[in-house]
Amino acid sequence: MQEHRRRYKNPPIEEAVCEFRFGPGQEWDPTIPGNLQHALDGQYAGKAQEQRVVAIDLETHKDKPANLKYGEGVAKIKLVTEDGKRMVGVGQDVLTVHMLRPYHDLLRSDQGGWEEFQPRISQALDAYWALVEPGGVCRIGIRYINKIVIPQETVEVEDYLKCALPRVTGLPDRRNGFISRVEYAYDDAVRLVLSQGSIQAPPEQVGFLLDLDVIWETEELVTRDEALAKVDDLRDRERTTFETVITEKARELFDAD
C-alpha cells in the first residue's frame, strides 16, 4: 500500500464504491438486509432503499470488434446512514459499500477518506460473510466518481485532464461537450475502465466527470482475507491513475480554499 496519500482540501470525489461479487450461493433470503443492518451495530439506521441499475459492459472477442452490452444490473437493498452519506448495498451474491461527498474531513483524519472507507468495507464484508457464508469472492471493483467543477464560463479540458480527447485537424476547435469510455488491461488481468464527459454545472461554470473503475475477476474463488488484500491493491491503482491523468492546474483547483 502507498504510505502517503495526497489529500486535497476540496477533493472532487462525488462517490466512492467498493463492490464484491460472490460465487453462486444459496437462494436469496429477503431477511438478509435486515439482519445485516442489525449486525452493523445500527450504523446504517436511515430508511433502506431499493435499487435497480442498468448494467453496461464491454464485450470483447478475439476475432470481432468490441461491443457495448446493456442489461439490467443486480438489484440491491441499500442500507443508509441517517445523514444519507454512507451506504451498504446487498443483493443476490453482491455486496457494495459507498461513500458520498464529502469523502473526507481534513481537520479530522479519522473522519472520511480511506481511513474511514477501508474499515467500513472490512466491517461490511465480515458481517455479510457471517450471515451468508459465501463460498468466496469472484469479482472486486473499486470505483471513484469525480465531479470536477471549474468556476469559469469556458475552459480547455486539456488544462485539467491529460486523458481529454485530442483535437483533430479539420474539425472546429471549440467543443461544446464530450464523452468517452476506454478500457485498459493490466498484465495481471485487472481492468481499468476510464470514463469521462461533460456534465451540467451551475451558471458561468464548467463541469465534467472523471469516473475510474478498477476491476479484478477470477474463476477461482478467493477468501475474505485475500479479497481485502486485493481491495487495497485496487485502491492503490485507482489513486495512481487519478494522479496520472490530472494536471497541476487541476491539483491547484482541488487545493483551493
Q: Model confidence over 7-59: pLDDT tens digits?
A: 898 999 999 999 999 998 778 888 999 999 999 988 999 988 887 666 666 66
How many domains would you assign to the chain?
1
Please report where in the chains the cell 466491517 appears, as a residue. Answer: 123
Mean pLDDT of all residues in 168-188: 88
* Residue 4 located in a structural domain: no
* Residue 3 located in a structural domain: no
* Residue 127 located in a structural domain: yes
* Residue 1 located in a structural domain: no
The residue among 57 and 151 whose pLDDT is bigger is 151
Q: Does the global pTM surpass 0.75?
A: yes
* Residue 136 located in a structural domain: yes
Express each pLDDT in 191-230 by its tens digit. 999 999 999 889 999 999 999 999 999 999 999 999 999 9
CB distance 113 to 102 below 8 Å: no
Mean pLDDT of all residues in 136-161: 94
Express each pLDDT in 66-85 by its tens digit. 666 666 655 789 999 999 99
Helices 224-245, 113-132: axis angle to 10 degrees equals 150
Mean pLDDT of all residues in 177-195: 93
Residue-number span of the structural domain to which 190 is assigned: 13-254
Q: Is 50 exposed, middle or buried (0-12, 13-18, 19+ CB in 10 A)?
A: exposed
b/e map of 102-138 (b: 16 or more CB within 10 Å)?
ebbeeeeeeebbbebbbebbbbbbebbbebbebebbb
* Residue 2 located in a structural domain: no
Q: What is the pLDDT of residue 3?
A: 46
* Residue 28 located in a structural domain: yes
Express each pLDDT in 126-144 by its tens digit. 999 999 999 999 999 999 9
Query: Residue 242 pLDDT more than 90?
Result: yes
Rounded to an integer, what distance in angstroms lies between the CA atom of residue 111 and that of residue 82? 16
* Residue 248 located in a structural domain: yes
Residue 146: closest CA among 194, 183, 109, 179 = 194
